[in-house]
């Protein structure tokens, strides 16, 4: 179940919104990863992680999954906070209030829970934004 | 061996055009009683009516984009009674089936991510409810 949700989020983050790419992909040069980035990745990059979904059951076997996921943007300190904020906005624009196609579910509706602000994490900036996705199984 | 019913084994089959995913129901079976205590009695005597009444509710989440219609079709422009089956366990069958009408439908939705519907139903006709309960030990 959660794999379907994570795939849907990745598909949206990497979706083609024009010209074979989207503003987020352009900003991070397609460096968008689940869980962790490859070793020695360049910056900036985007990671996303998902908490285990809460499950609400309905009679007849269908269930609704509600999962919180966090999108984290990492960038070098010399990138500057303005650029980090711009990238965070691109993430929010891609995800907030969007209805995503999710395998084995009716759809996955996403809404933003908290908008991120830049903070220093060692030698990098990071911005965490959290979202919620809700999807109901089709069987 | 007695088996303890678990709520999640339940189900409900709603009358036509009550489009929702439902995850809870409740019902109350009642009947009128009359006090027939006489002079000299030292305890209250009561007589029970043979006629039972059933009221209840079922709640869940509305569905749309389905051919079954909308969540309010059972109450708007629809006076007809329809069969409802309340299920404790599907197999072996432990169910209560009767004809009902919708007395009210409560709907809500919020930006917090909740959409809900509650159907309130009442017994509709003279037919006795059909109560099925697995009693094989």
Cα separation, B36 vs B34, in Å, equals 6
Residues 96-135 (A) with a CB less than 8 A from some CB of B: 111, 132, 134
Asked if ipTM goes beyond 0.85, one says: no
Q: Give the number of residues written for chain A.
A: 139
**B56-60 mean pLDDT:** 96
In chain B, how long is the greatest CA-to-CA distance? Answer: 67
Confidence tier at B76 by pLDDT (50, 70, 90): confident
Beta strands (DSSP E) in B10-93 are 11-13, 20-35, 46-62, 82-89
The answer for residues whose C-beta is within 8 angstroms of residue A98's C-beta and 6 or more apart is: A12, A109, A110
**What 8-state DSSP symbol labels residue B79?**
-
pLDDT category at B3 given cuts 50, 70, 90 is confident
| Prediction pTM value | 0.85
The pLDDT tens digits for A56-81 are 999 989 999 999 999 999 999 888 88
Strands B46-62 and A119-121: unpaired
Instruction: Specify the CATH class of B7-132 in words.
Output: mainly beta
Count of A-B CB contacts under 8 Å:
27
Whether A57 and chain B come into contact, CB under 8 Å, resolves to yes
Per-residue tokens: B94: 């432990």
- Per the CB < 8 Å rule, is B113 touching A62? no
- Residue B12 forms contact with A (CB below 8 Å): yes
Model confidence band, residue B40 (pLDDT cutoffs 50, 70, 90): very high
CA distance B13 to chain A (A): 10
Residue of B nearest to A62 (CA): B21
C-alpha B31/C-alpha B33 separation (Å) is 7
Residue B137 clears pLDDT 70, i.e. is over it = no
SS3 A97: coil
B132 interfacial to chain A (CB closer than 8 Å): no
Per-residue pLDDT, A15: 94
Local structure of A10: helix, strand or coil: helix
Query: Is A59 in contact with B11 (Cβ distance < 8 A)?
Result: yes
Count CA atoms closer than 13 A to B20's CA, side-chain side: 28
Q: Which residues of A touch B58 (CB under 8 A)?
A: none
Kindly indicate the confidence band of residue A34, based on its pLDDT and cuts at 50, 70 and 90: very high
CA distance A37 to A58: 38
Query: What CATH number has the domain bearing residue A109?
Result: 3.30.2000.30
Q: B21: which chain A residues are within 8 Å (Cβ-Cβ)?
A: 58-60, 62, 64, 136
Q: To probe the interface with A, which of B21, B62, B64, B90 has the most A CB atoms within 10 Å?
A: B21
Interface test with B, best of A59, A107, A132 (most B CBs within 10 A): A59
Total domains in the fold of chain A: 1
Give A60 to chain B, closest Cα distance, Å. 6
User: Hey, are the CB atoms on A56 and B23 less than 8 Å from each other?
Assistant: yes
Which of the pair, B136 or B99, is modelled with greater confidence? B99
The reported pLDDT for the residue numbered A93 is: 95
Domain with A90 in it: 2-137
State the Rg of chain B over Cα. Answer: 19
Q: Are B22 and A59 inside 8 Å of each other by CB?
A: yes
- Check residue B37 and give its pLDDT: 96
> Does any CB of chain B come closer than 8 Å to the CB of residue A56?
yes
Q: Which band of pLDDT confidence, cut at 50, 70 and 90, is reported for residue B68?
A: low
pLDDT band (50, 70, 90) for residue B17:
low
Q: What is d(CA B115, CA B108) in angstroms, rounded to the nearest whole number?
A: 6
């Amino acid at each position: 179940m959660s794999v379907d949700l994570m795939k849907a989020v990745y598909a949206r983050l990497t979706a083609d919104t024009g010209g074979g790419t989207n503003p987020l992909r352009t900003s991070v040069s397609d460096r968008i990863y689940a869980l962790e980035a490859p070793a020695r990745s360049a910056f900036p990059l985007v990671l996303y992680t998902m908490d285990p979904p809460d499950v609400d059951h309905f009679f007849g076997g269908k269930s609704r999954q509600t999962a919180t996921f966090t999108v984290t943007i990492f960038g070098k300190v010399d990138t500057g906070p303005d650029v980090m904020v711009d990238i965070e906005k691109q993430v929010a624009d891609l995800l907030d209030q969007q209805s995503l196609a999710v395998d084995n579910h009716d759809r996955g509706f996403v809404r933003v829970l908290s908008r991120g602000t830049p903070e220093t994490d060692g030698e990098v900036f990071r911005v965490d934004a959290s979202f919620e996705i809700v999807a109901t199984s089709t069987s | 061996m007695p088996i303890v019913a678990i709520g999640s084994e339940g189900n409900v089959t709603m009358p036509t055009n009550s489009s929702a995913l439902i995850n809870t129901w409740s019902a109350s079976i009642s009947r009128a009683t009359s006090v027939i205590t006489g002079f000299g009695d030292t305890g209250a005597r009561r007589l029970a009516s043979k006629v039972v009444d059933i009221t209840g509710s079922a709640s869940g989440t509305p569905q749309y984009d389905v051919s079954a219609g909308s969540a309010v079709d059972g109450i708007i422009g629809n006076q007809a009674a329809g069969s409802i089956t309340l299920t404790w366990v599907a197999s072996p069958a432990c169910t209560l089936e009767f004809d009902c009408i919708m007395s009210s439908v409560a709907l809500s939705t919020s930006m917090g991510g909740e959409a809900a519907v509650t159907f309130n139903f009442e017994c509709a006709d003279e037919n006795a409810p059909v109560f099925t309960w697995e009693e094989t030990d």
